[in-house]
Amino acid sequence: MGTAIQRLICDLRRKLFYHCVNDYEIFMKQENTILHGDCIDVLKEQLDAHDGEPFADLVFADPPFNIGYAYDKYDDNMEYDHYVDWTYRWMKACKDVLTENGSFWVAIGGDYAAEVRIAARKLGLTMRNWIIWYYTFGQNTKKKFSRSHTHIFYFVKNAKKFTFNDMAIRVPSARQTTYNDKRANSKGKVPDDTWIVRPQELPESFQPDEDTWHIPRVCGTFKERAGFHGCQMPEKVLARIIEAASNPGQLVLDPFSGSGTTVVTAQSLDRRFLGIDLSENYVKYGLQRLEESRDLHDTGS
């Protein structure tokens, strides 16, 4: 009885444009923060708060891979059909809040990459790229080849009208750096769909005898590691996506905020942002990381 009365009060407050929070129910427009809750529920509430108008210009999702990872709240060991159905439902929730010119990026492991592609097709999304991010420091295995890559899908809602800032992410081409070819475009080239950073793209990161640098996963000894979350994307990967697919002032959404890398990177690039996570601890520490990043940005450190 108490729960029913509480929900009735929430509904009344919602109609009066008050803020009411009960577990996952957040009825006011939110941005530049991380919200606690199931992303499917929270996104429905946020869409209602925006009067049904899509509000996210860029969605980046790095969901649980369903490989048995020990999250503090989420069960990462679902039955196949359950996981595939859940994938479709959270992707639909994200598509519903995506602006007409927006883009939708999904990072996923090899076990369910095909299922993500099929779900996107069912949702009417257009795939622009199927990117392979090759990383070092993959887990070592003895009975099969070690896994050392993640799939990153780049979808758009409108196949003819979307944001893609090629000039923000161009890199020097081999024609420029290796062959000194005068026909080379002086503005460089758009990166390929296998993300491996080469010496000419980031020379300060190489030793004289090195010719290739693969963007690594963020491991436990790395300075960038937030410490409270075991699955952390490198800021360099997020920066490339955010700079390419959004403009300053636009809103970047991460429905699985986790370590907070997406929102921290968006903040540093002068984007508005919204993160969501099922774990109260991840939200707490993610907000703390945001504050620390903001302080560094403000001091110019």
176-199: per-residue pLDDT in tens? 777 788 888 888 888 888 887 555
Which two three-digit tokens encode residue 58? 């860029």
Which two three-digit tokens encode residue 103? 């883009």
Which two three-digit tokens encode residue 133? 């991010």
Q: How confident is the model at residue 175 (pLDDT cuts 50, 70, 90)?
A: confident
Containing structural domain, residue 67? 54-163+215-252+261-273
Q: Per residue in 17-45, pLDDT tens?
A: 334 444 444 568 999 999 999 999 999 99
Q: Per residue in 72-98, pLDDT tens?
A: 878 888 999 999 999 999 999 999 999
Query: From its phi and psi, is residue 158 left (phi > 0), alpha (psi between -120 and 50) or beta?
Result: beta
Which two three-digit tokens encode residue 201? 């793209």
CB 43: neighbour CB atoms within 10 A? 26
Identify which of 195, 135, 126, 192 has the alpha carbon closest to the alpha carbon of residue 154. Answer: 126
Residue type, 230: G
Q: Per residue in 230-272, pLDDT tens?
A: 455 788 889 999 999 999 999 999 999 998 999 999 999 999 9
pLDDT, averaged across the chain = 82
Q: Check whether residue 112 and residue 182 sit in a common domain.
A: no
CB 84: neighbour CB atoms within 10 A? 17
Structure confidence at residue 5 (pLDDT): 64
Contacts of 22 (CB under 8 A, 6+ apart): 6, 7, 10
Q: What is the CATH number of the domain that holds 241?
A: 3.40.50.150
Beta bridge partners of 151: 108, 132
Q: Check whether residue 106 and residue 155 sit in a common domain.
A: yes
